[in-house]
Structure 1
Amino acid sequence: MFENLNWWEIGALLLLALLIFGDRLPAVINDGLRLVRNLRNMARNATGDLSRELGTDIQLEDLHPKAFIRKHLLSEEDEQAIRKPLQGVYDNLRADVTAVHNDLKDVAAAADLRSGGRSTTATGGAPAPAPRTSYDDAT
């Protein structure tokens, strides 16, 4: 839960909680922990009831629809039969993307050679502008 927070942010949150709740902070923490324990017990009881009703062992993670179907309704052969055509499409798409990527590299290298060796990356990928000629207003 806190893997995206660094120590300074966690300390700031603790200080903010201390300022908001003051002396009641330990009671608030206990109430929060009790709520989490009750929710876990409720989820455990619900999965136990569901396991008894279905006659199979169900874990809390299995309640995600994709995981439930994969684990309890499809056999391994069915899953492989579903994945096989999709794997072919994925492999073809990956090969096409790789070919396009290589073609773009070749075009960029050719454009760099035609520009006389001027680097196109200095201007963010756009070719360097041609030098401007100035004209006198001698009319």
Structure 2
Amino acid sequence: MFRHVVRKSMAGVRNQSTVSKAKDAVSDKVEQLTGLFNKTVYWTKVTGELAKQVYLKEKLSPPSVAEIQSVYQTLYTQGVHYAQRPLEFVNVLSKSLDKNTLINGGAYLVQFAGLFALGEAIGRRKLIGYPSFQSHH
């Protein structure tokens, strides 16, 4: 009987130790997340205030409705014009593109494709293939 009581009390000590370790780990994570949240809020407010000062100092203002309509009307008419005359579009495009423009465009395309692939790998949490969520037999 004495051994049984000692075993029960030792199991309770082990469980208390495990529970206290778990509580400590959780409280540490909560403190880290709270600190990260506070830093994020702080820097968001700093950035907002800086943007507000730049906006006022540069006397910036959003475009008027007439300006927006003018831009989109011009884009629409040019789009319809070149859609009806594709060879003219190709000629204008070939005259405006030089070697440096193509190289820069290719570099941006490679960067975009690389960032897209990186985002996909992070989202999948695997470098190659997708995780299988089926049970394996």
TM-score, normalized by length of structure 1? 0.32
Query: Quick check: which one's helix share is greater?
Result: 2
TM-score, normalized by length of structure 2? 0.33
